[in-house]
């Protein structure tokens, strides 16, 4: 009984004296020295030289033995930073921050585990530039306050400190400081095509006339290493460099981010950059261009070289990009209609004609801008919309107003084609003066203003006149159509009888061919008959001529004999006797030769036949008789 009481008293003394202290393995122990021959801490929060106070070294899990009644151990959890989050460190002791410095300099600090090294190497109090990444960290909560998304790790804080750290937590929550900066391109998401503009909250300020901090290169690993950023000459303020797709563990007390959209230059456009930052560049526009300066890319001003179609991570705080169309675009002077995004404020042009009508003229103009001249257009006019409203609209309106005053309303309507051709030629030269390429002008039909009936009456008269002309033409066409219909009917009837017609035509052709053949045959037969007749006649003539010659010879011989007899006889009876003899002989000859007394075919000529010979002979005899008997006829 006494032994048990003694043991209990000993245990109580051990507990009260603090000789033995147990620390769980998932905890850490902060040692506080209650008294020391060296006295208390004279400066700072921790006892670095054996003084009484909070000690810099921590104790880990297990049993630990201390001198009785000299030490107290404060057990705290280890700092745990969950996966994908960030932890922030605040030093409660160290060198005070200099004026203008927002966060503690960690250039000479490797980590926060060694308190003596931190304080000995000039560690500064306050929020630290270095952050904690995922994992479990053994950090002395007497010196450091660690703030994670889930908890704040520290020793007991007074009310003032507690309020301060609550304020810092609210600031970090507002900036999403416990999570990394994640930029990703997701098709169809509202977060797609984003980039981040960084604003640094620490470091030297911007120089005069600078709006953005200049880019200092890649050494700082996209603002994730503040000390390297500042060592490279980085300055506080909004940065010219932006962040694109990726995950960035950035201390939000050092730098904040703002998400903006990437700049997309669609096909058919170029982007003319108007830069607000950069150094002053040389004028590259040339001596002939006197409307401003064009500079090299990266300089302040209008860049000479435009951006081609594509997607750009362009910092819109560093400048702006004016889209200039490079394809043909239409400007419409017509209320309620638009051919492009640049003509929404254009209206019909009000004209005054030579005969005092006031029609409204709708028209369209097709324009093209050479992409190489796009920077000149922006430098001169600011943008295409201002070019259209401040220059092209007054110029085009003035041109057509001047032309309309030289024409009557009817002439204006009837000469629209001529007016359009002349306007195309005249305005082409005017557009070239503004670095534009004029393509075409399309003139609409003039229309009356609201409440004006005079023009409508004129138009009605013109329509009636045209209707009358069209009716005349219609009647003429109907007549032609009737004639064509008749011809069509005849053709259809012929087509229907085509077989019969073809047969009859073939019969006619056959008969014509047969008739022609018969004619040819008859002609041939006639020629044959005629040839035979001529041959027969020639034969007969030849035979008759021969026999007649023979008879004549005989007769002449007999006549000579008779003549001789007659002379010898010296009397009239002798001639008669001669004649009778000749006639007798002739008759015998004709009978023997069977020659017709009168030939069937008569031929011309004196001595052509026997009959004529006979007659000649009788005539000769008679003539001698008459000659021999004077006074006798």
DSSP characters over 400-449:
HHHHHTTS-HHHHHHTHHHHHHHHHHHHHHHHHTTT-EEEEEEE---BPP
Confidence at 316, pLDDT banded by 50, 70, 90: very high
- Count Cβ atoms below 10 Å from residue 582 Cβ, excluding itself: 21
pLDDT top residue among 417 and 568? 417
Per-residue pLDDT band for 611 (boundaries 50, 70, 90) equals low
Burial 217-249 (b: 16+ CB within 10 A, else e): eeebebbbbbebbbeeebbbbbbbbbbeeeebb
Q: Looking at domain 329-453, which of 3.20.20.150, 3.30.479.30, 1.10.260.40, 3.90.850.10 is its CATH number? A: 3.30.479.30
Q: How many helices (H) and strands (E) does the chain have?
A: 13, 27
> Which letter, b or e, does each residue of 21-42 get, where b requires 16 or more Cβ atoms within 10 Å of its Cβ?
bebeeeebbbbbbeeeeeeebe
For the chain, the straight-line distance linking the first and the last C-alpha, in angstroms and rounded, comes to: 236
Structure confidence by residue, pLDDT tens digits, 241-258: 999 999 999 999 999 999
pLDDT band at 176 (very low <50, low <70, confident <90, very high): very high
Q: Which of 443, 438, 442 is nearest to 328 (CA)?
A: 438
Contact of 427 with 435, CB cutoff 8 Å: no
| Lowest mean per-residue pLDDT among 49-53, 222-226, 462-466 | 462-466
pLDDT at 255: 97
Among residues of the chain, what percentage have pLDDT more than 70? 83
The H-assigned helical ranges of 78-199 are 115-120, 159-174
Residue 622 has a pLDDT of 67
Whether 9 has a pLDDT exceeding 80, the answer reads no
More confident residue, 570 or 251: 251
Supply the pLDDT for residue 173.
95
pLDDT for position 633? 46
Cβ pair 583, 524 in contact under 8 A: no
pLDDT level of residue 335 (50, 70, 90 thresholds): confident
Question: Virtual CA dihedral for 213, 219, 225, 227, nearest 10 degrees?
Answer: -70
- Overall pTM surpassing 0.85 (yes/no): no
Distance CA 32, CA 50 (A): 11
pLDDT for residue 489: 87
Chain-centroid distance of CA 320 in Å reads 27
Over the range 601-626, which residues count as b (16 or more CB within 10 Å of their CB) and which as e? eeeeeeebbbbebbeebeeebeeeee
SS (H, E, C) 295-311: ECCCCEEEECCCECCEE
CB 409 within 8 A of CB 446: yes
pLDDT at 492: 83
Residues forming beta bridges with residue 310, ordered by sequence position: 265
User: Of 8-12, 105-109, 163-167, where does mean pLDDT reach its minimum?
Assistant: 8-12
Say how many residues make up the chain.
633
Quick check: helix, strand or coil at residue 577? helix
Mapping DSSP onto H, E and C, the string for 203-235 reads CCCCCCCCCCECCCCCCCCCCCCHHHHHHCCCC
Q: Report which of residues 370 and 411 the model is more confident about.
A: 370
Higher pLDDT: 284 or 516? It is 516
Going by C-alpha positions, the residue among 53, 66, 76 that lies closest to residue 14 is 66
User: What is the DSSP code (8-state) at residue 62?
Assistant: E
| Mean model confidence pLDDT for the chain | 84
Going by pLDDT thresholds of 50, 70 and 90, the confidence category of residue 14 is: low
Question: How far is residue 627 CA from its own chain's centroid?
Answer: 134
Lowest mean pLDDT among 62-71, 208-217, 445-454: 445-454
Highest mean pLDDT of the ranges 148-152, 284-288, 528-532: 148-152
pLDDT confidence of residue 317: 94
* Helix or strand (DSSP H, E) at 73: strand 71-77
Asked if residue 425 lies in contact with residue 432, where contact means CB atoms within 8 angstroms, the answer is no
Q: CA 203, CA 235: separation in Å to the nearest integer? A: 5
How large is the average pLDDT for residues 203-224?
A: 92
What pLDDT, on the 0 to 100 scale, is given for residue 264? Answer: 94
In the predicted model, is pLDDT for residue 606 greater than 50? no
User: Among residues 47, 73, 70, 49, which one has the least CA distance to residue 60?
Assistant: 73
Give the span between the Cα atoms of 633 and 626, in whole angstroms.
7
pLDDT at 615 over 70: no
- What is the per-residue pLDDT for 91? 96
Band of residue 612 on the pLDDT scale cut at 50, 70, 90: low
Judged against a pLDDT cut of 80, whether residue 498 lies above it is answered with no
- Rounded CA-CA distance 197/239 in Å is 7
């Amino acid at each position: 009984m006494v032994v048990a009481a003694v043991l209990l008293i000993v245990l109580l003394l051990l507990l009260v004296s603090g000789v033995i202290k147990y620390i769980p393995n998932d905890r850490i122990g902060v040692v506080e020295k209650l008294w020391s021959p060296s006295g208390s801490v004279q400066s700072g929060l921790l006892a670095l030289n054996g003084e009484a106070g909070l000690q810099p070294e921590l104790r880990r899990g297990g049993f630990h033995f201390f001198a009785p009644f000299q030490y107290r151990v404060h057990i705290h959890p280890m700092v745990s930073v969950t996966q994908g989050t960030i932890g922030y460190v605040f030093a409660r002791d160290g060198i005070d921050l200099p004026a203008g410095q927002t966060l503690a300099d960690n250039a000479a600090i490797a980590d926060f585990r060694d308190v003596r090294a931190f304080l000995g190497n000039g560690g500064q109090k306050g929020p630290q530039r270095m952050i904690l990444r995922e994992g479990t960290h053994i950090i002395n909560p007497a010196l450091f306050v660690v703030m994670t998304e889930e908890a704040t790790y520290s020793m007991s804080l007074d009310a003032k400190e507690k309020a301060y750290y609550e304020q810092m937590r609210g600031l970090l929550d507002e900036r999403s400081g416990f999570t990394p900066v994640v930029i990703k391109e997701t098709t169809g998401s509202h977060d797609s095509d984003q980039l981040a503009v960084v604003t640094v909250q620490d470091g030297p300020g911007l120089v005069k006339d600078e709006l953005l901090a200049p880019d200092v290169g890649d050494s700082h690993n996209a603002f994730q290493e503040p000390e390297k950023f500042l060592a490279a000459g980085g300055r506080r303020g909004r940065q010219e460099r932006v962040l694109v797709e990726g995950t960035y563990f950035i201390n939000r007390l050092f730098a904040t981010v703002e998400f903006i959209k990437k700049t997309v230059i669609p096909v058919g456009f170029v982007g003319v950059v108007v830069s607000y930052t950069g150094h002053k560049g040389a004028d590259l526009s040339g001596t002939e261009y006197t409307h401003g300066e064009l500079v090299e890319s990266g300089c302040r001003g209008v860049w000479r070289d435009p951006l081609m179609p594509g997607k750009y991570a362009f910092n819109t705080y560093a400048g702006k990009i004016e889209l200039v169309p490079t394809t043909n675009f239409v400007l419409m002077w017509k209320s309620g209609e638009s051919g492009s995004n640049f003509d929404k404020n254009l209206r019909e042009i009000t004209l005054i004609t030579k005969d005092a009508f006031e029609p409204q003229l709708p028209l369209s103009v097709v324009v093209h801008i050479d992409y190489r001249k796009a920077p000149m257009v922006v430098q001169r006019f600011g943008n295409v919309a201002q070019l259209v409203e401040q220059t092209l609209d007054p110029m085009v309106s003035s041109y057509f107003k001047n032309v309309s005053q030289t024409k009557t309303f009817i002439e204006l309507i009837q000469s629209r084609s001529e007016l359009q051709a002349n306007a195309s030629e005249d305005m082409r030269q005017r557009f070239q003066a503004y670095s534009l390429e004029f393509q075409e002008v399309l003139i609409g039909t003039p229309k009356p203003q609201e409440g004006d009936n005079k023009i409508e009456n004129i138009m009605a008269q013109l329509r009636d006149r045209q209707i009358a002309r069209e009716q005349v033409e219609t009647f003429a066409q109907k007549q032609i159509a009737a004639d064509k219909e008749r011809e069509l009917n005849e053709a259809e009837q012929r087509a229907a009888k085509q077989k019969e017609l073809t047969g009859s035509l073939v019969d006619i052709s056959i008969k014509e061919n047969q008739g022609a053949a018969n004619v040819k045959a008859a002609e041939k037969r006639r020629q044959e008959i005629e040839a035979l007749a001529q041959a027969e006649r020639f034969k007969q003539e030849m035979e008759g001529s021969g026999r007649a010659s023979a008879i004549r010879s005989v007769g002449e011989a007999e006549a000579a004999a008779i003549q001789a007899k007659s002379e010898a006889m010296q009397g009239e009876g002798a001639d008669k006797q001669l004649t009778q003899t000749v006639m007798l002989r002739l008759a015998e000859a004709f009978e023997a030769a069977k020659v017709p007394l009168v030939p069937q075919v008569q031929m011309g000529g004196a001595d052509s036949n026997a009959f004529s010979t006979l007659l000649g002979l009788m005539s000769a005899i008679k003539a001698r008789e008459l000659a021999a008997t004077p006074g006798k006829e």
